[in-house]
Amino acid sequence: MKFAIWGFQSDSEIKKHVHEILEKLASEKHELIMLNSFAELLQIDRPDVQLITVEQIPKDTDFVISIGGDGTLLSAAQAVMRTPIPILGINLGSLGFLTSLERDWRTGLDEILKGHYRIEERMVLNCRLEYQDGSEETLWALNDVVIERADIFNLLALEVRVGEEFLNKYLADGLILSTPTGSTAYALSAGGPIIDPSLDAILVTPISPHTLSVRPVVLTGEKNIYIKLSNPVGQAHLHIDGKNTRKIDGRLRIRIRPSSYRIQLVVTPDNTFYEKLRNKLHWGQRSSQKD
């Protein structure tokens, strides 16, 4: 099998785990490729590891192994967005909602190498930026598309339409449009609901809305969502999965809909979404701290 080792952070713990993973896969005669910038960070120079750039992931790669946290996996997702290569996330970060294995990854990786795993397909957002001159730019998000104010002293005024129907004019610090996968990310911190990732839906969550009655809305994935700044000279920042930032203004229209692409996540059989919610959010656990 062919494995691509992916990451962009370096510390002694990550270096230790990466060396151990490489040794294990090499000892079982698997083909190894690695992001060149990651190898340089970790000072890895092995003749049995082929170094590649972000754009050079071979289409016949069996798995991308993302080593880090959710941010690392999101960057891997961007790299394989148009190629159906499954991603196996090993969490060496803090929360790790998207990753399948934790720091004690060894047993889980053994089971995956034996074929004991399943693939979860996750919905992706297609975000098309429609410029006034008629040009367009398309971006893709596994987690969310976030529009935030550029001026810290003024609220954003955002007009949102679902298809041709007007939904609302949001006065807020910003707006989060997330997939069900992204409902446990920024949208959750902003008060949005948690959505089962098997659903095709788009969550619209205002960031600190001016009116308390304005609440998050879960929309069907069957219609296009159009967003425009109400003020033609207004400015905002647009973020795709926390990266790919663009400065936008009121002359631009944003169209968001589910993409035809799907991200494939490698999951161990006993690692369900509901179990992850209980473990990561400590549901049902009482604090042992005494008053």
Residue numbers annotated as active site: 70
Residue 285 structure tokens: 């656990």
Beta-bridge partner residues of 166:
161
Instruction: Using DSSP, state whether 114 is helix, strand or coil.
Output: coil
SS3 of the chain: helix, strand, coil, percent, to 5: 20, 40, 40
The tokens 């790919």 sit on which residue?
244
Closest CA to 162 of 204, 128, 192, 132: 204
DSSP 193: P
Instruction: Using DSSP, state whether 235 is helix, strand or coil.
Output: strand
The tokens 């970060």 sit on which residue?
93
Determine the Cα–Cα distance for residues 104 and 90; give it in Å rounded to an integer.
9
DSSP 199: S
Determine the Cα–Cα distance for residues 3 and 11; give it in Å rounded to an integer.
22
Q: Which helix (H) or strand (E) holds 109?
A: helix 106-113
Is 146 in contact with 125 (CB distance < 8 Å)?
no
Helices marked H in 198-262: none
Is 95 in contact with 123 (CB distance < 8 Å)?
no
Is 165 in contact with 151 (CB distance < 8 Å)?
no
Determine the Cα–Cα distance for residues 90 and 102; give it in Å rounded to an integer.
6
